[in-house]
Amino acid sequence: YKAGNSVLYYTWSPQWVGGVLVPGKDVTWLTVSHTDLPKGQEGANTKMADGRNLGFSVNSIHVLANNKFLNDNPAAKKFFEIAEISINDIGAQNLKMRNGEKSVKEIDRHADEWITANQATFDQWISEAIKAAQ
């Protein structure tokens, strides 16, 4: 890859390699024409949001929270529902941790840097969360 040659590799996301070989920029997910999963996995979602079929189950990341907390905190509930961070941004942050920036202070800084770089989006999430609490 560093010599400019093509490479083929298998990975999962999110993880640090997505911060080095950035999906959509440096790499392309291979797709299949149809899905043929093992018995017991029939019907699993194998398509990405854009319709590309990866041929294996697609996972997603969700916030889990206690129902009482969500009922008592409608702003938090709304924020959890609408906040969405790109897989490439998660990969970039994971790379920082792989490269040694893994203390709580450094991870907090990563979050602050992401918010600054995505301020308008973050502000919209906060605005919608505040409306949900009113």
Sequence-distant (≥ 6) Cβ neighbours of residue 19 within 8 angstroms? 88, 91, 92, 93, 94, 95, 96, 98
Token pair of 114 as six digits: 């992401």
Distances (CA, A) of 109 to 85, 96, 112: 16, 11, 5
Decide if 55 contacts 31 (C-beta within 8 A).
yes
User: What does pTM read for this prediction?
Assistant: 0.77
Decide if 36 contacts 58 (C-beta within 8 A).
no
Token pair of 10 as six digits: 């298998």
Q: Which pLDDT belongs to residue 128? A: 98
Alpha-helical regions (H) of the chain: 17-20, 67-72, 74-82, 87-98, 104-117, 119-133
Distances (CA, A) of 91 to 25, 38, 54, 56, 87: 13, 29, 19, 20, 6
Q: Which pLDDT belongs to residue 134? A: 94
Bond before 14 cis per omega within 30 degrees:
yes
Q: Which pLDDT belongs to residue 93? A: 96
pLDDT averaged per 10 residues in sequence order, the chain, 134 residues? 88 85 87 89 87 85 93 97 92 95 98 98 98 96
Decide if 47 contacts 53 (C-beta within 8 A).
yes
